[in-house]
Chains A and B, each alone.
Chain A
Amino acid sequence: MAETKAPVERPLSPHLFIYKPTLTMTMSIVHRVTGASLYFGTLLVAWWLIAAASSPNAYAGVGSFMGSLVGRVILFGYTWALMLHMLGGIRHLIWDTGRGFGPREREWLAVATVVGSISLTVVIWIVGYLFMGGSR
């Protein structure tokens, strides 16, 4: 296929940066960023599963990394990204039906995504810590 090339450097139309950031715009960017983070986060899932399938030693290695401060911060971020992207995705599915585009609805949906994702993340971590305490 022939490549199309602009003959001269033309000024591009002003894009995102001329707009004042809004909540829905930020959430759109966050949805993409969390999606990209989760993409690489699957490496953690694969590592965890492979270690579990390999040996008790390998599994203990994953456990000590995930249990470290850095590991916990990464896992906390992973949990939040997963919840944010899941709720943001549900928001997109609602939009796919043609609903939720009104000024009040879209603001409400954006706020619900943020609040919901933080709440779910906190609940998951509280339950997680309770479970760890219980089974040891």
Chain B
Amino acid sequence: MVAGKMSTPLARVRGLGAARSGTEQFWRQRLTAVANVPLIIAFVFIVVGLLGRNHAAVVQILGSPLVAVVMLLFILSITTHMRIGMQVIIEDYVHDETAKLALLMANTFFSVAVGLASAFAILMLSFKV
């Protein structure tokens, strides 16, 4: 590690430095990437299975416990993954401090809003069944 002689023993043990964070996001991005693979495959199967069906059938299938849980996991995993991914893109290309902060906030707002709206819809479908 780069923790030099100027840092306190505690800071050296923590190994976090000025960023005040470590490898959580790196790890979470890989964790959700692994989770995304089976969840995307399941999502594609669900969508293809719903093609051409009428609204009542779609509600019935999307609201069934197994499909709803898979969809909730899918939404949780992809929105977590995409928030970190977009954060990396913003940090790579936006160097103006104010714009960067604003975009990082917007990124979180967007990801959480999309995730929550989708999860809410899935729960609503479940309770309709």
Contacts and interface: CB of A to CB of B under 8 A. Distances in A.
Contact of A3 (B52, B53, B97): B97
Interface string B18-51: 0000000000001001101100100010001101
Nearest to A36: B89
Contacts of A30: none
A99 interface: no
Contacts of B16: none
A32 B89 contact: yes
A35 B33 contact: no
Interface stretch (A13-21, A103-111, A126-134): A126-134
Given A46-B114, A49-B118, A50-B121, A93 B34 contact: yes
Interface in B58-107: 58-59, 62, 71, 75, 78-79, 82, 85-86, 89, 97
A52 B121 contact: yes
What interface size band does chain B fall in? 35 or more
Interface residues of A, number: 35
Interface of A: 3, 32, 35-36, 38-39, 42-43, 45-46, 49-50, 52-53, 55-56, 59-60, 79, 82, 86, 89-90, 92-93, 96, 124, 127-128, 131-136
